[in-house]
Amino acid sequence: MGRLPAAERREQLLDCAAGIFARYGYARATTAQLAKAAGVTEPIIYRHFKSKRDLFVALIARTGRQTLESWERDLADAKTPAERLARLVGDNPMVSPEGRDAYLVFLQAISEVEDDAIREAVADHISSVHTFIRDELERAQQGGAVSDRYTPGVLAWSLISMGLGYGALSALGIEGHGQKDERGIHLSDVLARVLVGRQAEPVRRKPE
């Protein structure tokens, strides 16, 4: 592979790393495997990342940024706070084709939180997602679309907890999980109805 500008090479290495970590796991993945997948030598990797751990941490951080950027794009043309929230409920990046490998890595990171750097990266990721969802819920409450019985902060934690559970079960490939029931109702339909009522249906922008 030809010489790339530093920023492009870094992104290419992160793209390849997502696939390698998703396939082999953090412990078994090696920089030699990554170098082969990226078409570079190992010293090239170490020009951009001090260690495998630093690469792993950078990938977690990038996944968080990409999630927020994706949500901003997907919600941009929504007409009301209620519609924005309904779309958000149906847009779980853990089960999208684009986000699957990155979030498999994220699930692995949860098992590595004895490492301070990895734990901090996971915590920062979750904090940024929580802030985004909380702000959306607050706007929806101010517009009267969501009950203010509970604070937007605790509702945001509820959605994150359900989203992580849904993503983890999807990654495991549990039979029947994520499918519509005999009435044609999907989990995201239930969440949207509970939060928003009948004024907006969830929009699942990405294939399940």
Is residue 194 predicted with pLDDT exceeding 90?
no
How sure is the predictor about 71, in pLDDT bands with cuts at 50, 70 and 90?
A: very high
Comparing 144 with 180, the larger pLDDT belongs to 144
For the whole model, what pTM was predicted? 0.82
Domain range list for the chain = 1-49, 53-199
* 29 backbone φψ class: left, alpha, beta (φ>0; ψ -120 to 50): beta
- 69 vs 75: CA distance, rounded Å: 10
Which has the closest alpha carbon to 194: 157, 168, 155, 163? 155
Orientation angle between helical segments 52-75 and 116-142, nearest 10 degrees = 10
- 74 vs 84: CA distance, rounded Å: 9
Domain 53-199 sits in CATH 1.10.150.570:
no
Orientation angle between helical segments 116-142 and 152-172, nearest 10 degrees = 120
Is residue 130 predicted with pLDDT exceeding 90?
yes
CATH topology of domain 1-49: Arc Repressor Mutant, subunit A (1.10.10)
- 144 vs 132: CA distance, rounded Å: 19
